[in-house]
């Protein structure tokens, strides 16, 4: 009995995943599946400026209303900068 129920559940899960893949493909073809918008260059410059002034990454994130991981990601992307990590 449990084997039959497990098989039915597995079949339903496979059907659900197939419908999900079809929906994602349809949304991508319609141009509605674009992902998150990138951080504006002005805000990135603010992060770099505040870091150069010696502000901690936590304070930068709090001041600009973004996550700490975003601040770290922006600072890691800056090349040739004199900002101390």
Structure pTM?
0.55
Residue 38 CB-half CA count within 13 A: 6
Instruction: Find the mean pLDDT for residues 79-84.
Output: 55
Rounded distance, CA 44 to CA 60, Å?
11
The confidence score (pLDDT) of residue 38 equals 86
Query: Quick one: pLDDT at residue 51?
Result: 94
The DSSP secondary-structure symbol of 85 reads -
């Amino acid at each position: 009995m449990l084997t039959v129920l497990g098989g039915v559940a597995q079949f339903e899960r496979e059907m659900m995943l197939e419908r999900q893949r079809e929906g994602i493909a349809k949304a991508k073809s319609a141009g509605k599946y674009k992902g998150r918008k990138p951080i504006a260059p002005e805000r990135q410059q603010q992060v770099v400026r505040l870091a150069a002034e010696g502000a901690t990454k936590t304070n930068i994130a709090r001041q600009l209303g973004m996550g700490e991981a975003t601040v770290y990601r922006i600072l890691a992307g800056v090349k040739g900068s004199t900002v101390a990590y």
